[in-house]
Amino acid sequence: MIKNVIENVIVRRPCKNFAEGITASGLGKPDYELALRQHDGYIEIFRKCGCNVMVLNADERYPDSTFVEDVAIVTEKCAILTKPGADSRRGEELEIADALKNFYDKIEYLTDDACLDGGDILRVENHFYIGLSARTDSEGAGQLTRVLNKYGYTASTVPVKQFLHLKTGVVYIGNNTLVAAGEFLDNTIFKDFNIIRVDEDEAYAVNCITVNGFLMIPKGFKKTKKALLDSGYEIIEVEMSEFEKMDGGLTCLSLRIPGI
């Protein structure tokens, strides 16, 4: 049984050219100063939830490098560096290795022929669903599965068509419960879960985070907040407007390292 305690969290400050990152949101250019303040708020919530937060300096070479979730998979047994599927993000993964060495003896690597973004990895207890998306291919999924199997985890793939990443459209909040929207609402792969259904106009709010008994959700999504009130978690809202403009959700901004 995993403890489900998050002890350490790694984040990276947004860089000055954050607005030059990849986006299809159509929500306009983010305000950098506001993004920094929202990032401060995000960090503060993890601290309130009892986590140590390691804050890495901005990396101006990679506009999307604040979205650290995409560059590594962190478990209680090992960390695995990914191979980002977008050309402009290739190499970001190597920049997180030193930070991970503070927490891990075992760091695993995928090879250059793989594509895999951490946003496509949905962990449910000791099973990992791997989204096959525009960013993650079957070579990446195969390599990750082999690494996970080595550490006693299982994995399987899920096609992702509508969303950027698997976790943009479905997340696990414990207790056999998923929060989902769009293509994942009636996907037979998830038929044995309880599903908290999120309407299309609030789909951004699917991407929430459970952390030490709290549920962090983006601010401004009333229907989803109401639906999540019965989940048994205390809900904490965080302003995310500037990250939403760059297609980033709550999970994307951190690597959450489970306690052993």
Enumerate the active-site residues: 165, 252
228 or 252, CB closer to ligand CIR? 252
> Which residue stretch of 2-10, 45-53, 164-172, 230-238 sits at the interface with ligand CIR (rule: CB under 6 A)?
164-172
CA angle 103-109-113, nearest 5°?
155
230 or 244, CB closer to ligand CIR? 244
Find the largest Cα–Cα distance for the chain: 44
Q: How many residues interact with ligand CIR (rule CB under 6 A)?
A: 18
Strand partners, 9: 53, 256
Q: Which of residues 5-24 bind ligand CIR (CB under 6 A)?
A: 21-23
Closest alpha carbon to 154 in 122, 180, 176 = 122
Which residues does 239 contact at the CB level (< 8 Å), separation at least 6?
A: 38, 41, 218, 219
CB atoms within 10 A of CB 174: 14
12 or 89, CB closer to ligand CIR? 89
State the binding string over 22-61 for ligand CIR (x if CB under 6 A, else -). xx--------------------------------------
Which residues does 226 contact at the CB level (< 8 Å), separation at least 6?
A: none
Q: Which of residues 98-137 bind ligand CIR (CB under 6 A)?
A: 119
State the binding string over 58-77 for ligand CIR (x if CB under 6 A, else -). ------x--x-xx-------
Integer Cα distance of 134 and 165 in angstroms: 8
Under DSSP, is residue 7 helix (H, G, I), strand (E, B) or coil? strand
Q: Which of residues 208-247 bind ligand CIR (CB under 6 A)?
A: 246-247
Residue nearest ligand CIR by beta-carbon distance: 119
Integer Cα distance of 149 and 27 in angstroms: 40
- Supply the minimum distance, in Å, between the C-beta of residue 230 and ligand CIR: 26
Closest alpha carbon to 168 in 212, 206, 195, 137 = 206
- Supply the minimum distance, in Å, between the C-beta of residue 167 and ligand CIR: 6
Q: Report the interface residues with ligand CIR, using CB under 6 A.
A: 21-23, 64, 67, 69-70, 86, 89, 119, 164-165, 168, 246-249, 252
